[in-house]
Every structure is written in structure tokens, then in C-alpha cells.
Structure 1
Amino acid sequence: MTIRPPGNPVVEVRELEVPVYRGNHKVMCALRWKRHADFCTFDIELDGPDEPVHRSGRDLFDALQQVRLELERQGLVIAVQGARTDAYPTGMIRNMVAASRVYIMEIGRDVERKHLVNTFAEAELHTIGTVEQQDAHYREWLEHRNSAGQA
């Protein structure tokens, strides 16, 4: 649990429903995210299906990955675009919109604006992977990009 300094109040809160799966069983759960005044601290609270999960990160994608790691331990999967194996934010997206959007990154293809999706929009279950798989795909995408001289 992260301890917040008293001078870093919450300045924005959003709430939405997201699909969470255990196997093929889907449950819609409430997700709340909060932005703090420093714009460097984001909290995500997911209600259920077993117990609430609360995690923080430097942006929304980082906080989502922290939530996903806990869900993985519980045998659960959150089926949102930001949990797709091939989804990841660039540094610019992290800085400009706090990773509220992510790119769908295909190996061998540079990203364009048309590849941006909302981090918390529902995704097909078969596109979701673990945090480890997602990070590995991003590293592979970077390696191919760098070897092609696109860096």
C-alpha cells in the first residue's frame, strides 16, 4: 500500500465497469481510477469478484499492471485493451495522457495514431496475456523496431 503525502490530494476520479474472467466465467466489476495532484500518482480500485484490489502506479498503465499482477495470483483476468499482450503505451502517451490510451503494437510495424485504443475499453478474452507476456512482447517489438532503424 502506498502512503500519500498530505499535499497530494486526489483531483480526478473516474468509474467504469470492466469484465473480469475466471476461466470463461465473466463478471462485470466496478473499476475506479484516481489521479493525484502531482500527476505522477494514479490509483486503481477494482471491486471483486472475490475481493477488492487497490494498487497505485506512476500512470494508469502502470497501476493497471499492478492490479493485473494481483488478479493473476487469484486466477483472474481483466479483459481490457490495456491488458492485451500486444498493447503498450509509448513514453509520449505516458507523459501526455497518463497512459489512458495504449498502442496496439504489431511486431515489425511502427505505431501510428490509428493504433491507439482506450486502456480500459473491453477487449476479447483471447487477446489478453499476463503482465510478463505483455512486457516480453513490448521488448520484442522494441528490438525489431530498433534493428529496423526506426528508433
Structure 2
Amino acid sequence: MNSRFEQDRSSDSNVPRPQWTEEFGLQTVDSDGLVESVTIYVGQPSTALIALLDGESLTQINGTDYLDCLTQARRQLEQDGRLLCCQGARPDVHPSGQLRQFTNGRQAYVRFPDARGEAPETVDIFAPASPEDAVTLDDQRAAIIRAWNAQHPRNRI
């Protein structure tokens, strides 16, 4: 990992920089199909902190959990017309409240509306995904609501 992200222990700084525990090289894609590389650095499991390295710009994002951090990073990229190509940006990926709590928002289920009785697959939300699988936050939310309504016609959202 790049040394600029190691804990800052110099005497001229009272605020230490976070220590990054993982690094994900991901892609973004825009509406023209242009693919660009970004890197996400993930903080220690006891924190909900990530950093998005986009070109020369490094943005630290903290939230209530990792999914909240990823949502903020995706929203920032969507404002630039780009989609983040990761498992957490797929239309069929969403955590349950319990899974979100137990994994600090790091894991989510792959939901299949027709798969009844089978345990759903779980994925790391930061793992890479194909550009064809990435959708906007609004499209992802709509897909999850459609899947819920199809499975629970009497308890529609």
C-alpha cells in the first residue's frame, strides 16, 4: 500500500491519518461508455471510513457504516455522470438490516426474486463488478422495491 496512507506519527501533526487496511482498484463508467480507474481505500473494521482516489483527488468519506460510505462515494461520482463498478452498485444487491449490522455494512445479499427457499449469496460491496452491472442509486432502489413488491404483493412498498 502506498506510504502516504500510513498512520502519521510525525510530531508536527496532532491529528493522525487513518490507517487503510484494504485497497480496491475499481472502474467507473459514464453514459458514453468511457471507463476510468479509481481506487477505494477501506479503513479499519472498527470504523466506517473509506477514501476515494479519483485521478489526483483523494476524498475521505465517513459514515454510519461501510454501505453509507459507499453510497456517498457513488453519489459523488454520479454527480459527475459516472457509475462505480462494484458489487454494491448492482441492481440486485442489497443488505438486510441484520446483515448490515453484523458486517458494518460491508456485506450484502444478491437477491433473486424467483429463488425461494435458497439462501441468498452474499458479496463484498467493494468487490469489482462489470460496467454492465452498475446502476445509479435511484435505479438500484427502484429494482429492490420492484423485487420486494413481487415477492410480497400484500406488503407493497
Q: Specify if TM > 0.5.
A: yes
Secondary structure at the aligned position of 1:20 is classed as strand
Aligned-residue sequence identity (percent) comes to: 22
Matched, 1:86 2:95: no
Alpha carbons 1:18, 1:78 under 8 Å: kept = yes
Match for 1:137: what amino acid? Answer: A
Counterparts in 2 of 1:35 and 1:58: CA distance versus 1, 3 Å: farther
CA RMSD, aligned part only? Answer: 2.7
1:130, distance to aligned residue in structure 2 (A): 0.5
Alpha-carbon distance in 2 for matches of 1:76, 1:126: 13
**Deviant stretches of 4+, over 4 Å:** 9-12, 110-114
Match for 2:74: what amino acid? Answer: R
Counterparts in 2 of 1:45 and 1:11: CA distance versus 1, 3 Å: closer
Matched, 1:20 2:25: no
Matched, 1:138 2:147: no
Extract unaligned runs of 5+ from structure 1: 1-8
Alpha carbons 1:105, 1:111 under 8 Å: kept = no
Match for 1:24: what amino acid? Answer: G
Alpha-carbon distance in 2 for matches of 1:147, 1:16: 39
Alpha-carbon distance in 1 for matches of 2:144, 2:68: 14
Q: TM-score, normalised by structure 2?
A: 0.73
Question: For residues 33-89 of structure 1, what are the alpha-carbon distances to aligned partners after superposition, in whole Å with 9 as ceiling and x for unaligned?
Answer: 22474xxx5122111137333322222112111110110001122100101121111
Matched, 1:55 2:61: yes
Match for 2:136: what amino acid? Answer: T
Counterparts in 2 of 1:73 and 1:143: CA distance versus 1, 3 Å: same
Counterparts in 2 of 1:56 and 1:25: CA distance versus 1, 3 Å: same
Q: How many residues align?
A: 138
Q: TM-score, normalised by structure 1?
A: 0.75
